[in-house]
């Protein structure tokens, strides 16, 4: 994850891939899921909203599951986000799901982790002509806080509580929230996603935007809810015309049900380790993705036993 002391990304996307390749150079994993009978059969990956990293990552993962014979067929599901994804997982509508660590721990029960797949960055987006300079200035204003089924909504409410302010919370997801921000019907949009989020990048071409510094809220939110929240930097040039801004980072986890078969889990984890370069969205500027060292840091959600065994075999 980004270094909270120096404020920089550990590397750009190409360096991440090079680093992963170097880490894997000395380790040969046995091929999994490449035989004539894929262990996963038909698999679904619960993703997120169009224009966000969740759905983009889920789509790439589904393609990789098919390509490497882990699943005979695999597809990504368009969803409301973390909470919706975990509901679908619990109901058996999804084989795998992406969720924010804080949301996953709050829900608990019946789930296991396959790994930490990347870091989410909480965006609090305002128009540059709004006069809003800090989170405290949002008090009393209409604010898009995310789809009620999303982890964004959970984290946004926690941050507003930590700030000690009350807003007119509008349950709008990424795309509806951006439309409301452009029209002036909300003063700010909360969104938790990768950097850059495609929908926000597109919006900067229509309206001048900037990000509020959320990092002063980290001590209070960690004290209230636990150590899921880190200080991370959205670098300048991540979005056209938006200056660099400190914000809050939350780990993204790839989850499954506890009863998912061991062979499917092992094959999926081997894919994460061996083919991580296929799972980095093209728009990524260098957010931490699928580091062999950090995949096992699942923030209080236990690894599936077969995933734990796969990582142990990899690390020796």
- For 216-232, what is each residue's pLDDT tens digit? 999 999 999 999 999 99
Predicted local distance difference test score (pLDDT) of residue 36: 54
Predicted local distance difference test score (pLDDT) of residue 82: 97
- Quick one: tokens of 5? 């002391």
Name the average pLDDT for the chain.
Answer: 88
Bridge partners of 144? 170, 189
Q: What average pLDDT does the segment 11-15 reach?
A: 38
Higher pLDDT, 1 or 215: 215
Q: Convert 231-241 to b/e letters by CB count within 10 Å (16 or more is b).
A: bbbbbeebbee
Give me the count of residues in the chain: 316
The answer to whether residue 309 scores a pLDDT higher than 80 is: yes
Per-residue pLDDT band for 237 (boundaries 50, 70, 90) equals confident
Q: E strands within the chain?
A: 42-46, 73-77, 96-100, 111-127, 142-144, 168-170, 188-193, 209-211, 229-234, 245-257
Predicted local distance difference test score (pLDDT) of residue 287: 60
What is the C-alpha separation between 287 and 281, in angstroms, rounded? 10
pTM of the entire structure?
A: 0.87
Distance of CA 10 to the CA centre of its chain: 17
Predicted local distance difference test score (pLDDT) of residue 8: 35
Residues of the chain with CATH 3.40.190.10: 13-118+252-315, 121-250
Predicted local distance difference test score (pLDDT) of residue 286: 60
Q: What average pLDDT does the segment 114-139 reach?
A: 96
Residue 163: enclosing H or E segment and its boundaries? helix 151-163
Cα–Cα nearest to 79, from 209, 156, 188, 174: 174
Q: What is the pLDDT of residues 64-91, one digit of tens each?
A: 999 999 999 999 999 999 999 999 999 9
Distance of CA 70 to the CA centre of its chain: 23
What is the C-alpha separation between 46 and 61, in angstroms, rounded? 10
What is the C-alpha separation between 18 and 195, in angstroms, rounded? 20
121-250: CATH homologous superfamily? Periplasmic binding protein-like II (3.40.190.10)
The answer to whether residue 21 scores a pLDDT higher than 50 is: no
Q: What average pLDDT does the segment 117-140 reach?
A: 96
Per-residue pLDDT band for 7 (boundaries 50, 70, 90) equals very low
Which architecture, in CATH terms, is 13-118+252-315? 3-Layer(aba) Sandwich (3.40)
What is the C-alpha separation between 130 and 200, in angstroms, rounded? 17
- Quick one: tokens of 117? 């797949």
Q: What is the pLDDT of residues 248-278, one digit of tens each?
A: 999 999 999 999 999 999 999 999 999 999 9
Per-residue pLDDT band for 288 (boundaries 50, 70, 90) equals low
The answer to whether residue 199 scores a pLDDT higher than 60 is: yes
Question: Is the distance from CB of 80 to CB of 151 less than 8 angstroms?
Answer: no
Q: What average pLDDT does the segment 50-69 reach?
A: 95
CA dist list (Å): 254 to 45, 124, 225, 228 = 9, 25, 21, 16
Task: Out of 4-18, 83-97, 161-175, pick the least confident.
Answer: 4-18
The answer to whether residue 17 scores a pLDDT higher than 50 is: no
């Amino acid at each position: 994850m980004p270094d909270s002391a120096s404020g920089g990304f550990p590397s750009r996307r190409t360096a991440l891939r090079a680093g992963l390749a170097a880490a894997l150079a000395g380790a040969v994993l046995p091929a999994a899921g490449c035989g004539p009978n894929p262990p996963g059969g038909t698999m679904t990956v619960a993703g997120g909203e169009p224009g966000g990293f969740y759905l983009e990552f889920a789509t790439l993962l589904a393609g990789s599951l098919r390509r490497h014979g882990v699943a005979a067929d695999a597809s990504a599901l368009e969803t409301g986000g973390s909470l919706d994804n975990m509901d679908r997982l619990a109901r058996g509508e999804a084989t795998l799901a992406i969720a924010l660590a804080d949301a996953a721990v709050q829900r608990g029960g019946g789930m296991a982790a396959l790994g930490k797949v990347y870091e989410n960055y909480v965006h609090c987006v305002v128009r540059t002509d709004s006069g809003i300079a800090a989170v405290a200035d949002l008090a009393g204003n209409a604010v898009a806080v995310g789809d009620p089924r999303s982890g964004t909504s959970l984290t946004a409410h926690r941050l507003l509580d930590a700030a000690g302010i009350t807003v007119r919370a509008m349950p709008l997801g990424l795309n509806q929230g951006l439309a409301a921000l452009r029209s002036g019907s909300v003063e700010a949009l909360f969104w938790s996603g990768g950097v850059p989020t495609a929908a926000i990048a597109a919006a900067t071409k229509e309206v001048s935007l900037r990000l509020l510094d959320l990092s002063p809220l980290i001590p209070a939110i960690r004290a209230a809810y636990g150590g899921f929240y880190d200080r991370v930097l959205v670098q300048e040039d991540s979005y056209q015309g938006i200056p660099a801004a400190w914000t809050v980072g939350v780990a993204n986890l790839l989850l499954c049900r506890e009863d998912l078969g061991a062979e499917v889990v092992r094959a999926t984890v081997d894919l994460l380790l061996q083919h991580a370069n296929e799972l980095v969205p093209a728009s990524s500027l260098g957010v931490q993705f699928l580091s062999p060292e950090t995949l096992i840091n699942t923030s209080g959600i236990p690894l599936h036993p077969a995933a734990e065994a796969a990582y142990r075999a990899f690390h020796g």
